[in-house]
Each structure stands twice: as structure tokens, then as C-alpha cells.
Amino acid sequence: MSESLLRFVAPGVLVMPPNQIENFVQLVVDDHKVTERIKTLQTHYQIVAFANSINFNFELSTWARFLAFDWLQLSDSQLQSVLQADPTHWSWAFRQISKWQTLLMDGAKDLGLLEAINFAPAILPGALTDSSSDSDNALKCFIEAIHNRPDIVQEIQLARNEDEVINIAFQQGYVIDSLSILRKWSEHTDFSKPTWYGWFAND
């Protein structure tokens, strides 16, 4: 193991994987029968259980440290491939260890990957904002957006207080505050009822 990897290890923590793990990893590379068995595994728990069943004795936690050391050496794209691997595909286990990745033929390297997801949140107009003007705009957009949603309109009209209204808006992706509701009060017609009763008076 390189010195650069050892710097990531706190004092007292196992810094080198036991030979049991290294020997197991190498056996998967060298023994075709063992390689075939690896194809059926879908979790790291199963990998460790299989290793122990053929007399390679190590714990799941030790295996996890070994994985951590191995993954630190991967590029971002290689690590993405590991984490994006479909556990139900036969290639999943081979992607988990850099030495096993060499067993995958070129044609198989693009198989068995889950579809990439854009994790950036979809921000609705006027949603998830902080300033008072943005909150007012969020409230306006929220009211316009749900005019054709009688279920949500009814939920709002049954709200007992402004906190419930704010929570309903948040569930739809709009962040509003109590001051925005108060400012909306000036457009209300029936001041004997909460302001949100008047939002849909003309529907």
C-alpha cells in the first residue's frame, strides 16, 4: 500500500488488509470456478459470507476497510461506475474491487449500470427562496399553480392556522412565510375569516 493511502488512517486503525482478504481477492482472479460463484453475489455481506465459506476468515468491517483503501485509488469516473453498478446484474461484484474489474471484458464494462440520475433539485418558480420579496412571489406562484387542484384548495381552506398553510405550500415545493400571508391580507375581502379563505373566492 502506498504511503499516500496510509496518511488517511488514524492511529490505532488497521492500516493493511490481512493476507486473508488479499488471498481471497487473488483467488477470484485465478480460479474460474470461484469467479463463476462471484457472479451470483449482490451485496458485500454475501461476498464476505462466501469468502468465509471457503475458509477465508475475515469480518465484514475488515472487508469494508479494504474497500475503502481500494476505492481511494480510483478516479472519480471509476468510483462512479462502482457505485452505479446494478446489484442484480452479474457484473456487480466484479466492479467492487479494482483487481476484479480487470476480469470484465470491454463489451461488459458498459453493462449492468443503473441509469444516471441528475441529483440537482428541480426548483419551481418562486420556490425555496429566503428574502421577503421572493417569499411573496412564491406565495403568488403557489396560489396560481393550485387553482386547478381542488384537492389542495380544499386542504388549504380547511387549514386551522397559517403554519398548516405554510406546510402545505412547502410540500408542493414553495417556501413562504407568515409575513407573506399577512401582506396578502390587504387583498382579502372577508376580514372575518383567515386570509387564505379569500385566495380562491372567485373559483
Query: Which 3 state secondary structure label does DSSP give 182?
Result: helix
- Give mean pLDDT in consecutive 10-residue pieces for the chain, a chain of 203 residues: 41 55 94 92 93 92 90 86 86 91 75 63 46 78 86 85 86 84 68 67 58
Task: Summarize the chain as % helix, strand, coil (round to 5).
Answer: 55, 0, 45
Please report the pLDDT score of residue 5 as a whole number. 38
Map out the domains of the chain as residue ranges. 3-108, 132-200
Please report the pLDDT score of residue 29 as a whole number. 94
Residue 85 is given by DSSP the state: B
Give the three cell numbers for residue 119: 441529483
Contact present, 113 and 145 (Cβ < 8 Å): no
Residue 115 is given by DSSP the state: P
Please report the pLDDT score of residue 15 as a whole number. 46
